[in-house]
Each structure stands twice: as structure tokens, then as C-alpha cells.
Amino acid sequence: MRKRLVMIGNGMAGARCIEEILRRDRERFDVTMIGDEPYPNYNRIMLSPVLQGKTTFEEITINDWDWYQSNDIHLLKNERVVAIDRGTKEVKTDLGTVVPYDELIIATGSSAFILPVPGHNLEGVVGFRTIEDTKMMLEAAKQYKKAVVIGGGLLGLEAARGLMNQGMDVHVVHLLPYLMEMQLDPAAAKLLQRDLEAQGMKFLMEKKTSEICGDGRVQGLRFEDGTSVECDLVVMAVGIRPNVAIAREAGLTVGRGIQVNDVMQTSDPYVYAVGECAEHRGIAYGLVAPLYEQGVVLADYMTGQPTEGYPGSVLSTQLKVAGCDLFSGGEIHADENTKAIVVQDEFTGAYKKVLVRDGKVVGVVLYGDVSDGTRLFNMLKKGSDIQEYTSASVLHKAGEDSGLDISSISANETICGCNGVTKGTIVGAILENGLTTFDEVKSLTKAGGSCGKCRGMVEAILAHTLGDKFDASAQKAAGMCSCTTLSRDEVVAAIREKGLQSPREVRMVLGFKHEEGCSKCRPALNYYLRMLRPDTYADDKASRYVNERMEGNIQNDGTFSVIPRMYGGTTTPEDLIRIGEVAKKYEVPLVKITGASRIGLYGVKKEDIPKVWEELEMRSGYAYSKSLRNVKSCVGSRFCRFGTQDALGLGIRLEQEIEMVDTPHKTKMGVTGCPRNCAEVLTKDFGVVCVENGYQLYFGGNGGTEVRECDSLTTVATEDEVIRFAKAYVQLYRETGIYGERTAPWVNRMSADWVRQMLADEAEIAMLNDRFEAAKRTYSEAWKTALENEERRSMYTVERP
């Protein structure tokens, strides 16, 4: 007869423990899980990417409802256990349910610590631990614009970055003089703060909150030094408290957490505890990898498998914030018995510190370049002797390959910290199931399925395990989004072949994971259908990004920039006066000449944008759109003594001919009047250099973070030929580019020779021009219809007569 196993909790640690138990012995227990949230088991550490807009709630589900049913697990959701009766071996819930047990696992996790200052119970004060917390912040960001995050630790910084991504102005309040003091030393923390400030995050350091102010809803914070800050939302990220009340009331031994031995057994031999609620050898862990390690030990013990018990964990940390790569593990600060090896590159912002005691690595702090993180942390956990290493190379073996030796990693080493997947699990899955690709490993083991930072390690293990059988060329590219394994080309081909007419039809017919799609595929499918079916598909403005919907670029304080079109940087006295009057009326804080030779109004409030555009009576400059942004030009032969052709006139004409039509990403063009290249056209998506005998054409340039110089296309004799090639080039990019892909990586992917070959065919150029004109006509007609219906224009614009 099966034993009755009850799990209090439906979080990451608890569900993982049940997974491990079922993997070892499916027939031993009848399992009941009791969770106080209305959701299936989800990945709590991925709430930060959800808040940052990088993923969705659906995508962070670890075990969906089918998992419970297929494993005969009885789940009581949205119920909270209020009592454990150890005498009768029963648990009782707030809904009156009584569940008997033979063995009980407590996995109640922890709760966000809310500072008990006056005003902490005002509306708009929230922790950051649950889906409901995250939803509350997302909803607040739609109505309010000023947020304060109390706590400059890992979670606080991830929350702050997420709120900024939602358009909020964010201050981080921190009690100490530097950030993430539990994971970083002052030098690395200083680099982190500098990079976050460059992103627009604001800091109030060495501040202690004395009061949260507001009448019903939070309106600001006061600090003990007498200063204050205004805000509409307060996020508490000052730490967590293990949820131990239910265990304490049941008479179990409780310290900071529920005290357990090395097999996770509490003071009652029939009751166990795992996860953030458990205290092992005086430590209550708050990171996921130790919690999963505890679950494995407990599963072994409860199913009669041999185990050496849980010895405790050495912790490592990574930050999930774009543009800030950091890794820390073990000890952070040196003492009198510790030596530090430090390398700092102030030019690149890279910082590495390795702490050594008695010839062994005891701590690692990396910022900027974290490629050595896994190798150094592996050495730390194994207690490797480093005498044969050189300090100058930051512990790379002298004269040997500095890369990580996969064979040196033990089977129980955690590779995927987000999902607690070890090397042994990955290797076993590969060998037992004949896996040959990363996607197959991810699907079966979940390694690399969350933040994705371990993908390189997973692929290296795959290659090492398969040896000569590993085929790098067979590795499947990721799908166009997490909703599907289909690539962009496969989706576009299916739309053509199956005659699909709408994004919903595409998702249903092609079996996308989520019926409503995600933030990545919704705008992409809208673009592909608009590109493929310009005459029949109606643009879905709701699927577009906020900048395109608002016809302005959102700024770091939640306001927007409004940039009217000025062909070639030219304007009129009337337009200048109108810009000045509008800027004054709406109290625009910054009026600036942009890099594209236009006048930009920065700091326009969201609610003022429609009125600003209406009163300007000028056309949009597309500074927010995935289309032609601008054509940069010099004055050419109109005024310059070196000019060979009318670069200004050609630039204006190019802008008028190409504008409006969507492209996979923003595009920029340039026309320079002579080879002196004052308009910097050789790093544009499409560039024209005027010469004595005509016009030299270039393509595929990029002047961004990864600079790419243009490839040469051809030389033509007339402006009409320039326009013709430009339209053909843009249409070719429209039809074969991946949504979100600039022309530079598109050219690298397709090859410059292929582009030249396509545009060397006169018949192909003619067909591309015809399709471009057909697309542009639909944009013009949509704009005219909007005007006739007296609607505010979206992204469609045509020159007014």
C-alpha cells in the first residue's frame, strides 16, 4: 500500500523534490500538494525578466496543470495550510480541508520582508516575490510614473530595471555606500552602479527610510537625514523571511528557519523541510541551486536510495540585467589570511578578483567579463590546488589552453542554476535518449530553458559527450520565439503555402504554444503578414511596440520624444515658429537638434502627444519606427565647392520615396556630395557617394555598438537609378530579413555576394520595385482613410498636398 505524502507548498523547491521522488520510485507515494497561489508551479526567479518585458507569465511555468494530472498528484491550489496536527498526522487548510499524511514535507518558502515603517501598509507598497506582486507592478506602471525600490541588492536592481523598462522613473534607495554588498566588493559595485546610472537608473545611497508618505496611496518617502523623494510605487527588496509560523505552531524546532539535519529531516522524524523555509547547519538559503540540491538529497532518503546527505552549498550569483554582466561566488572580502589576485581594465570596464587562501580559491568576483566564472567557481568548489597556475593570467594554467575542461566538472556540479540541472543529469539524458541538439537537451532536462546564460556550457557538454558523433552544423537554430520551434523562414513559408491571413490563424495552424502569442511573436507576425499581404491584411496597431503606438520614443523618465520630419534637415520659418510655440505651451523641457538634423522635443508627457502632433501640423520623422528613419546628407553642389552632385536634393528625394514602409528594423540612409564623406554614409544601411560621373552605391553598414562598414554595390549615372536600386534593396531586405534584424547582420547572414547577385538582375529589380510600390500604396491609403475618419494618425504618413 502506498504511503500518503503531503507537500505543503507548490514552489520551486517543493515541486522539484516531488519530481526527484517520482523519478526514483513512482509507486511509493500517493502525493498531495497544497499551494496558496492559484497557479501551477512556476519559476519565481524569472519574475524579473517578466517585469522587464523579456518573457511572459506563461513562459515561466515549470510544470503545467497536465503534469499534476499525468503524475496522479492531487493539487489543492489557492489553499493555505493553517495547522499541522502531528499527533493525528493531519494538516488543515483555511478552507476547512483536512489531509492525512504518513510523511510530510514543508516547502513554504519565504516572504518579502516589508519594513515596519509608518505608511508600509499604504496602497502602492509591494514586495517582489510572486506573480501577483509582478502583476501589481505592471499595472501600476500603466498609471503611474515614479517608483522607488528600497534595496540595492540583486532582486532590487532587477526590479528597478524592470520598472524602467515599463516606462517608470526609478530611484533605488540603499542603506549602505555600495550596491550588492553580499555579492560584490566596492570596486565591482562601483562599476555596476556606473553602468546602471548610464541606463537611467537613479540611486539614493546611504539612506534609511523613516516614513512612507501618502493619503490612501503612497506619494513619497522620507529619510532619517531629513531628505525625501516623490513616488507613486514603492517596491520592498530588503530581504526575505522564511515562512516558519506553521512549523513553530506545530512544535517543530525553529531558528531562523525550520531546523533540519543532513537528510532534511526536522525534529519530527515524519516531517521534512526543503527550500527557503529550511535552516541547515545554521544557514537558510535563498538561491535556487541549494534548494534543488536539498530536494535531491531528500528524494534519495525518502525512496531508500543511498545518500551522503546534504553538506551545504557554496553560493554563486549572476545578475539578470541587460548590459551588466557579473558573477560572484564564495567569499567576497579578503582577510589577513587571504590573498587577492585583481585585474581591472578601466577602458572596457572589466574587473576580476580571485581570493586565495592556503593555495586554494575561496572567492570569485567578476564584472564585465564573466567568461571565467564557471571555471573558477568549479575550482573553488573542488578545492583545487592552484600552485601550478600563474596569477598574471588570473589563474589560467601557464602554457595551456585557458578554456574550461568539461571532463574536469564532476557529475553533481550544477550547470543550470535557474532549474538546478547538473552535469550528470544532462549527460544521462543525452546518452539514454540519444539527444544530439541543445534544443533537445533543453526540452528534456530544462537546462538552458530560463535565462539561457548556461547555453554555452550545455552545448559544450553535448559536444564532449557525443565526441566524434557531435555535428555542430546539425544544431537547430532557436525558433522565432518561445511560442514555437519554427524559424522565421519556416513561418513565412507556411503563411505563403497555407494562405494564412491573421496572426491568430498563424498561431493556431502552426501550433504555437500560446494562443495569444508573446511580446516577441505578436509584432513579428504583424510585420510578416503586412509584408506578405499588403493589399488584404489590416495592420494590428495593438501588436506594435509602445513607441510605434505612441508615435514617439519613450524616454528613461516615462515621457516621450516628438520629432517632426525635416527632409534633409531643411525647414521653414513657419515650422520653426510653430515648434517653438508648441514647446512653450506644453512646457517641453528639452528642444534639441538631433543627430539626424531634425528638431526634437524631449520630455513630452504621454497624454500630450496627440495634442502636440495636432498643433505642430507637421509630419512624423519616424524616429520611433522600424522603417526608414532619415537620410543624412550634406549640402552637396548646391553650396559646397567640393560637391559633385546635388546631395541635399537626392537625400530629400530618397526620404520621400522610401518613407512609410515598414522594414524588419530601423533603417538609415546617407548621401554625401563627394568622396570626402561628410555625411558618413559608409556606415549606413544604404549609402550614396556622389562622384563626377554619377553615384556610387553602398549597403549593409552599421554605426552602432558593432560597427560594420558598407559593402560596395555598383555605380549608376542618374538619380532615378539610385532610387530604383534603393527601393529594390529595401524590398529585398523586407522580404528576407528577420523581424528585429538590422541590415548589417542580415547581409552577414545572407552574404554580400548574394545581395549583389540579386540586385544585378534587371528583372528582379523591376519585380522588387513593383512590390515595394504596391506596399507603399497601401500605407498611403491607410493614412488617407484615417484622415477621412478624423482619427489621429498612427505610423502611416504621406505628404500632404
Residues annotated in the binding site for siroheme, as ranges? Answer: 678
Strand partners, 63: 41
User: The C-alpha cell of 411 is what?
Assistant: 557529475
Report which of 389, 343, 403 is spatially closest to residue 369, judged by C-alpha positions: 343
CB 383 within 8 A of CB 360: yes
User: The C-alpha cell of 292 is what?
Assistant: 534543488
Say how many CA atoms lie within 13 Å of 610 toward its Cβ: 7
Q: How many helices (H) and strands (E) does the chain have?
A: 23, 40
Q: Please tell me the distance from the alpha carbon of residue 125 to that of residue 235, in angstroms, as a whole number.
A: 6
Q: At what angle do helices 521-532 and 488-498 cross, to 10 degrees?
A: 50
Q: Please tell me the distance from the alpha carbon of residue 594 to that of residue 600, in angstroms, as a whole number.
A: 6
Instruction: Give the strands of the sheet with 350-357, arranged side by side.
Output: 316-318, 326-330, 360-367, 350-357, 339-345
Pick out the residues of the known binding site for [4Fe-4S] cluster.
634, 640, 674, 678
Report which of 489, 560, 557 is spatially closest to residue 524, judged by C-alpha positions: 489
Q: Please tell me the distance from the alpha carbon of residue 376 to that of residue 316, in angstroms, as a whole number.
A: 11
CB atoms within 10 A of CB 573: 7
Q: What is the DSSP letter of 60?
A: G
User: The C-alpha cell of 314 is what?
Assistant: 557554496
Q: Please tell me the distance from the alpha carbon of residue 684 to that of residue 704, in angstroms, as a whole number.
A: 10
Q: Please tell me the distance from the alpha carbon of residue 733 to that of residue 528, in angstroms, as a whole number.
A: 12
Q: Secondary structure of 452-484 in the HEC alphabet?
A: CCCHHHHHHHHHHHHHHHCCHHHCCCCCCECCE
Q: Secondary structure of 717-777 in the HEC alphabet?
A: CCHHHHHHHHHHHHHHHHHHCCCCCCHHHHHHHHCHHHHHHHCCCHHHHHHHHHHHHHHHH
Contacts of 737 (CB under 8 A, 6+ apart): 663, 664, 665, 743, 746
Pick out the residues of the known binding site.
634, 640, 674, 678
Q: Please tell me the distance from the alpha carbon of residue 86 to that of residue 475, in angstroms, as a whole number.
A: 53
Residue 396 buriedness (CB in 10 A; 0-12 / 13-18 / 19+): middle
Report which of 490, 485, 487, 491 is spatially closest to residue 442, judged by C-alpha positions: 485
Q: At what angle do helices 647-658 and 719-736 cross, to 10 degrees?
A: 40
| DSSP H or E segment with residue 359 | none
User: The C-alpha cell of 626 is what?
Assistant: 522600424
Q: Is 708 helix (H, G, I), strand (E, B) or coil?
A: strand
Q: Please tell me the distance from the alpha carbon of residue 61 to that of residue 40, in angstroms, as a whole number.
A: 7
Strand partners, 385: 360
| CA distance from start to end of the chain | 85
Q: What is the DSSP letter of 539?
A: P
| DSSP H or E segment with residue 525 | helix 521-532
Q: Please tell me the distance from the alpha carbon of residue 129 to that of residue 107, in angstroms, as a whole number.
A: 15
Q: In sequence order, what DSSP letters do the residues of 377-437 get, joined into one string?
A: HHHHHHT-B-TTEEGGGTSEETTS--S--GGGS-TT-EEETTTTEEHHHHHHHHHHHT--S
